[in-house]
Amino acid sequence: MKTKTNTILVIMNVLAWITFIGLMVKAGAILVSFGVSVSHPEAAKNLYMETNLYNLMQFDFVHYTVVVVMWVAILILEAYTAFLVTRVLSRIKMTNPFTPEVSKDIEKIAYVILLIWVAAMLYNGYQQWLAKQITGWEENLIPAEFILMVGVVFVFSQIFKKGVEIQSENELTV
């Protein structure tokens, strides 16, 4: 049973690292395409995986920049969440799993996901506003249902905090 748990945690750690690297690469690719599009506007037609922001760029460069910056910021926050997950998984030891560092990281994950949700809502609102301004503009909305995850992770972090207290009491029982 112990070996199975360890294997699952190792696999999850590898997956979290892949997610972190993937998101960072995506953010980097968008930034590079954005940089290229400043001198060659045609690049905005395929910013990343056929995302076409050419119409927006022609409408107003400031709006185009704001959309790209918000998109990249959300990706960086998502990558940071994946990084926190890798940190939790590498710090956690099955012999003494409840440490204050891990508890703080789990709580931090909940707050970062909440921040991503707020950023995603702002991004979606901005996209919808732009859709009204530009004819033929296709919205590129971010699904915001993951707000439920904030609650779940936050509850886990509070349970983990109690676990830290119980483990500390157990260690200081002679």
Residues that bind another protein (CB under 8 A): 168-169, 172-174
Least distance to another protein from the beta carbon of 94, Å? 22
Least distance to another protein from the beta carbon of 5, Å? 28
d(CA 129, CA 144): 17
CB 113 within 8 A of CB 150: yes
Locate 103 and state its tokens: 């508890």
Q: What are the helix (H) ranges across 60-142?
A: 61-91, 100-133
Q: Give the nearer residue to another protein in terms of CB position, either 91 or 162.
A: 162
d(CA 62, CA 21): 29
Q: Environment class of residue 116 by beta-carbon count within 10 Å: exposed (0-12), middle (13-18) or buried (19+)?
A: buried
Residue type for 103, please? S
Output DSSP code: residue 18.
H
